[in-house]
Amino acid sequence: MLKLGSSLSVLGTKLEDLMPLAPDRANFQKLAEGLLQDEALPSAMHATLRGRCSNLLQVEILYAIFPGVDGAKRFLAGIREVIDAPAPGLWGLDDQRRNQCQGELPPSESSSSQSSGWRKKKGHRGTPRASIHQPLGAAHGGGQDTLADKRFQETNHVGKELSVLHIMEYWNVKVSRSSCCAFHGYLREVSLSCSILARRKCPADWRPTGDAQCQECGVLTDWLEEHGPEGDPGAARG
């Protein structure tokens, strides 16, 4: 799930820097009256907007909370296009414009783009139903581990744990009397289910899905055109 959090692109940025119009900056300074604290520093999350012909637009959703002269909390939110440094897992803007309405893949990553640390998307997601993925079998012959979906960063341990906890909350199972508590009894059921699944025949067409990724824990999620990231924005979804 995409979560609101700190972003390198807004470090050291003042709220006034996000306001292009001078009257807006003046009104904001009058409202705040020098009462801004650390909580007023802007935070951001990256998102991908899909338009006609499945072209993508990278944006950064910014928000901040600050106190007013009347003691009430004020909320400021905005959105801006990301054109300088794409977020991990998103296309570069030039690639989007070159491939707009053509159904083509972005150009392959060059050595210079790899050194920048950004991973570019390998194909459209969601809107064209025939999504293009990197087959897992192609990686087995390379002699090294590879990400199942190279468009995104690896899901970290926090994301994996959150996903398991989310699954457990929706189960109703018998807790063994030998378990020290319900929590560890549920973990035993998760482990047992994984052992059963591990004995199944390898499904050739299995792959992870998701249009967006949490920039904090790396969990993938589906992006809905009408409602944005699916689920509770305050927690990662497994």
The amino acid at residue 29 is Q
CA 105 to chain CA centroid, Å, is: 21
Q: Please give the model's pTM, rounded to 2 decimal places.
A: 0.37
How confident is the model at residue 42, as a pLDDT?
A: 59
How confident is the model at residue 172, as a pLDDT?
A: 92
- Residues of the chain with confidence (pLDDT) below 50: 1-11, 37-39, 85-134, 138-141, 228-238
Tokens of 174: 């018998």
Whether the CA torsion 98, 50, 90, 57 is positive or negative: it is: positive
Return mean pLDDT, the chain. 64
How confident is the model at residue 222, as a pLDDT?
A: 76
The DSSP letter of residue 106 is: P
pLDDT per position as a tens digit, 149-208: 888 888 888 888 888 998 899 999 988 888 899 999 999 999 989 889 888 888 888 888
Closest by CA position to 153, among listed 99, 199, 117: 117
What are the two backbone dihedrals, phi and then psi, of residue 34, each rounded to the nearest 5 degrees?
70, 15
What are the C-alpha distances in Å from 234 to residues 7, 37, 208, 214, 220? 17, 23, 22, 11, 14
Residue 47's SS3 state is strand
How confident is the model at residue 214, as a pLDDT?
A: 82
Which percentage of the chain shows pLDDT scores above 70? 39
How confident is the model at residue 107, as a pLDDT?
A: 44
